[in-house]
Chain A
Amino acid sequence: MSSVLSPYFPILFTGVAALLIAGGATAASFLLGPKKPNEAKLDVYECGVPVVGSARQRLSVKFYLTAILFILFDIETVFLYLWASAFDMLGWFGVVEVAIFVTTLAAGYVYILKRGALDWD
């Protein structure tokens, strides 16, 4: 199709429509449903026994570590996408460069593996 409109226009339109659908569904159940709040219903659910402490507690550092490693490897994936879309232009030069890049990365990967950063026990 000849692009008179921006290719991003359908995304905007879908976003608005989806927000209306999601917001409308929530609003409808807000308006249609009964309203009978009581103390027990609004309390934190812990299988029916009185609540112990709060949910705002310290967390395992493993989650933080996972997030950091994710950023590292995900950015590397993004770099590789640039190479993959220019694969035909770069030829063997690109393949060799990427092999070096991936080897360097693999060294780092082996390091975090040996240090136990990926163990969850």
Chain B
Amino acid sequence: MDNPVVFELVATVLKVVLALVVALQVAPLMVWVERRQAALIQRRIGPNRVGLFGFRLFGFGQPLADTIKLLFKEDFIPKHANKVFYVIAPIVPALMGLLAITGIPFGKYVEVMGYRVNLQPVDLNAGFLYLFAVSALGVYGVALAGWSSNNKYALLGGLRASAQMISYEIAMGLSLLPIVFIFGTLNLQNIIGAQSGHLLFGFLPAWGIFYAPVSFVIFVITMFAETNRLPFDLAEGEAELVAGFLTEYGSMRWSLFFLGEYAMMFTLSALTVCLFLGGYEIPYLPQTRIVEMLSGTLGNELALWATFLIGFGVLIFKVCIFMFIFVQARFTLPRFRYDQLMRVGWVYMLPLALVNVVVSAVWAALSKF
């Protein structure tokens, strides 16, 4: 372990494993949360039979049972499908979902054996553009699944989903420009660091949402559209398209789409938290202060680890609020009609995002220069 290359290799592998474990836990947990929350909203009981070790725990064992069931389902390829693309299609969203989550900073840094370890698994100089690039590639999975199934419902669902995802991507990209020039960086760690201060004589935390509220609204709306969640789930509108691009899929291939979808929901929620809500920082109590307070009793190295755990909990808590909103919206709002959906994207969101960029630029220039 004296060798820095070996050390960095081990550290990288551990960080990536942490991110992947988070991503793989999100999907089953969210399925359970979603079913319980839906049951609460619709005044039913929901899954409550499968427990763990003899305890019911509100049906907490259900995701495990579901996974085992999915593993033992028949894995078939329809006769008319294009076999190569049919097999590749479900792997793409899962791969992109897992890749995107590694761009999230789970904490500031820890020190191990004199080395400083940045807790963002993938830290490129392109910053959060990496997250954009990877999440945009997810559209290939949807388009390929729709086309390769050789089914009319699947084709329509795939086309609708692709058109929707690329339409909202423009507004999404534009909405984050003000964040870049207000904080002056693309690096997520630096953006979070800039948000640990205060605004208005210490009254408000210096979060991105107070600098760029319109960006926040646009980003959250486009986030729903990008992840194909209600009210934007035209792709799988079951009343008209059976299950959209998922129609001909079953067993593990089907669940890989959902692994990708939930991982992407988590990643985009975490990105929102990092850009607009201070990431892993607690309002009024920056992490540097926590480290100072703890290092007296714990020593510097342990204090950093404790701070990382606190920050990780804060990050997960903030993300959970978004996940709650995702599920609540799904069972509260009706679905858009397709022409309304495209209208919202192109006629309202895009001009609003453009105006927001220009106005914020003038405002930022006035306050900076």
Interface, chain A (partner B; CB < 8 A): 1-2, 4-5, 7-11, 13-15, 17-19, 21-23, 25-26, 28-30, 32-37, 41-47, 54-57, 59, 62-63, 66-67, 69-70, 73-74, 77-78, 80-81, 84-85, 87-88, 91-92, 95, 98-99, 102, 105-106, 109, 113, 118-121
Chain B interface extent, by class: 35 or more
Verify A95–B122 contact, CB threshold 8 A. no
Distance, CA A9 to CA B11, complexed state (A) = 12
The 5 A-B residue pairs with the shortest CB-CB distance in the complex, in nearest-first order: A29-B252, A120-B339, A87-B181, A18-B98, A84-B180
Verify B117–A8 contact, CB threshold 8 A. no
B residues 171-203 with Cβ under 8 Å of A?
173-174, 177, 180-181, 184-186
Task: Output the residue of B15, B72, B177, B259 with the most chain A CB within 10 A.
Answer: B177
Distance, CA A17 to CA B16, complexed state (A) = 9
Verify B15–A10 contact, CB threshold 8 A. yes
Point out the residue from A26, A34, A42 that lies within 8 Å of B78, measured CB to CB: A42
| Chain B 10-26 near chain A by CB (<8 Å), digits 1 or 0 | 01110111011000100
Contacting residues, chain B, for A11 (C-beta < 8 A): 99, 102, 122, 130
Distance, CA A116 to CA B351, complexed state (A) = 16
Instruction: Given the known inter-chain contacts A1-B116, A25-B252, A44-B150, please indicate yes or no for A92 contacting B79, CB distance below 8 A.
Output: no
With A18-B99, A118-B343 known, 6 other A-B pairs at CB within 8 A are A14-B121, A17-B98, A44-B150, A47-B242, A55-B151, A120-B338
Verify B166–A70 contact, CB threshold 8 A. yes
Interface, chain B (partner A; CB < 8 A): 4-5, 8-9, 11-13, 15-17, 19-20, 24, 70-80, 87, 90-91, 94-95, 98-99, 102, 109, 115-118, 121-125, 129-130, 149-155, 159, 162-163, 166-167, 169-170, 173-174, 177, 180-181, 184-186, 242, 247-248, 251-253, 255-256, 259, 338-339, 342-343, 346-347, 350-351, 354, 357-358, 361-362, 364-365, 368-369
Verify A18–B20 contact, CB threshold 8 A. yes
Shortest CB–CB separation between residue A106 and chain B, in angstroms?
Answer: 7
Distance, CA A92 to CA B167, complexed state (A) = 31
What is the predominant secondary structure among interface residues of chain B facing chain A?
Answer: helix
